[in-house]
Structure formats: structure tokens, C-alpha cells
Amino acid sequence: MPRIRFFVPKAVVPILALFAGGALPATAADEMIPASLPPAQRDVLGKFLTKIKETKPEQFIPPDAKLQSATDVPVEIDTTPMKNAEVKEYLAEIIPHKVADKQKGPERADVYWFRPNPKRGSPGITVKRVVDLATGEQVGETIVLLNRPTPLTREEKEQAIQLARDKSDQVHGLYERGKDEDIAVTALFDQITVKGLPDGNPGDRVAHLQFRKKGTVEVISVDVNLTRETVREPK
């Protein structure tokens, strides 16, 4: 069974704070493009993102991609091909390179996508591509980053909320008693890097959700392991 073994540092990954309302707003790819970029570069980057989105990935690990990892705690990624499995890729982060002339703008930007593993329970990967902001072409090879604490994507936030609604009696009851737009959801995210934690194993992506009906102070907290699709209600 093909597997990739890699290592992650022992330090706990910092938690990234995110906020989402009861119904997550639609987030187009161009809304993630940094507003600091000149209009021409925003347009070039938008076209690059559209081109990538229209290219459906056929393999979980992109062919000819370069793998990068840290070292310390071993983590396994199952890459066994699954019949009729859909490979998903979610836009996660755009980081322009540093620039000396702000009016001219940067020459390149790093773009990150998160790919959940088609096999439930096995960690996903982060795909990094560098784009030339003048030509709209990719620069260099595609990089696969193993266990990078890539920000939680819009798609993952939606999945976490749905899993909580399906598997938590408290959350299910809250939505049964009110409308979606009346419920506020606060999300914190971390990626597990050490063994022995109650929320999962190294490599797992976990969303810590707090549900609250607007106008009230009572909060329902649940931890959603997106890698394993499990929900835990902390004591």
C-alpha cells in the first residue's frame, strides 16, 4: 500500500482565529487576492487562479511535484489510489513576494491550495505554486508541503459546521430551534503536530467551533476533526 512517511516538528502549531457567521458568505477566489496588488497584477492573478481551478486534478500527489517536509515526529499519508475517488483542491492562501517599489508591485506571488486526502483518516497535503504576476505563468515546479499549517479554507469551514450539525445533538438542536442566519459561529483552527491529544493524531486538521444564537450568551463548543470526520464535545 503506497504511503508517504514524513515528519513534523514537536512544537504545537499556533491556533489561527477565524470568524464565520451562521451561514458562511460566498467567497470567490478573486476576493482572496490581496487588495495591495496593482489592478493589472490582480487581473493577471485572477486569470491564473481561474485556469488552475478549471484544471481538475487527477492525482492526489501532483505528478513531478517536489515534496518538502520538516523533521521530528513521523506521520503517514496514505496515497493508495481509490477507484472513482474525487481529488479536491481548495484555495487557501496567497502571499505576494516582498517588493521595493509599492507602485510597481511584486514580481511574483506564492499561492497555496489544501488538498484533503480522498481516503478518510489520512492527512491531506498543501500544494504550492509560484505565479509570475507579469505573465500569469507558473514559475518553477509545483511544491507539495507536508503538514504545513495552511489556513482553514472556506470549504473546510462549511464542512466542519455541517459535521457539527449532523453529529452533535446540542448543535443539531440549536439549529432546529432557530434559523441559520440567527446563529453565529466562531471558528479556531489548528493542525495537530504531537501525539496523545484528544482531538486526533499528527497531521489531522481540527476546527474548534463555538455556536451561539445571536442575542444570547450561551455557547455550544465542539471540536471537529476534519481529517477523520469526527465530532467531540469537550467536557
Domain ranges for the chain: 26-143
Please give the residue that has the higher pLDDT: either 175 or 30: 175
What are the helix (H) ranges across the chain? 39-54, 154-167, 169-176
Q: Is the pLDDT of residue 18 over 90?
A: no
* Confidence bin at 75 (pLDDT 50/70/90): low
Q: Which residues fall within 8 angstroms of residue 109, CB to CB, at 6 or more apart?
A: 37, 45, 94, 95, 96, 97, 130, 131, 133
Asked whether the beta carbons of 119 and 78 are under 8 A apart, the reply is: yes
Report the relative pairing of strands 230-232 and 125-132 from DSSP bridges: unpaired
Q: Which value, in Å, is the radius of gyration of the alpha carbons in the chain? A: 19
Report the relative pairing of strands 66-68 and 138-145 from DSSP bridges: parallel
**Nearest to 9, CA basis, from 194, 145, 143:** 194
Long-range contacts of 122-126 (CB under 8 A, 24+ apart): 122/76, 122/77, 122/78, 122/227, 123/75, 123/76, 123/77, 123/147, 123/202, 123/203, 123/204, 123/205, 123/227, 124/77, 124/205, 124/227, 125/60, 125/61, 125/77, 126/92, 126/150
Mean pLDDT of 25-40: 76
pLDDT digits (tens, 9 = 90+) for 84-118: 788 999 999 999 999 877 778 899 999 999 999 99
Beta bridge partners, 207, equal 189, 224
Mean pLDDT of 67-79: 68
Asked whether the beta carbons of 75 and 9 are under 8 A apart, the reply is: no
**Across all residues in the chain, what is the average pLDDT?**
84
Neighbours of 179 (CB within 10 A): 10
| Per-residue pLDDT at 8 | 39
pLDDT digits (tens, 9 = 90+) for 114-165: 999 999 899 999 999 999 999 999 999 999 988 888 999 999 999 999 999 9
User: Cα 161 to chain center, whole Å?
Assistant: 14
Neighbours of 44 (CB within 10 A): 21
Alpha-carbon distance 202 to 133, whole Å?
36
Mean pLDDT of 31-39: 90
Alpha-carbon distance 150 to 143, whole Å?
14
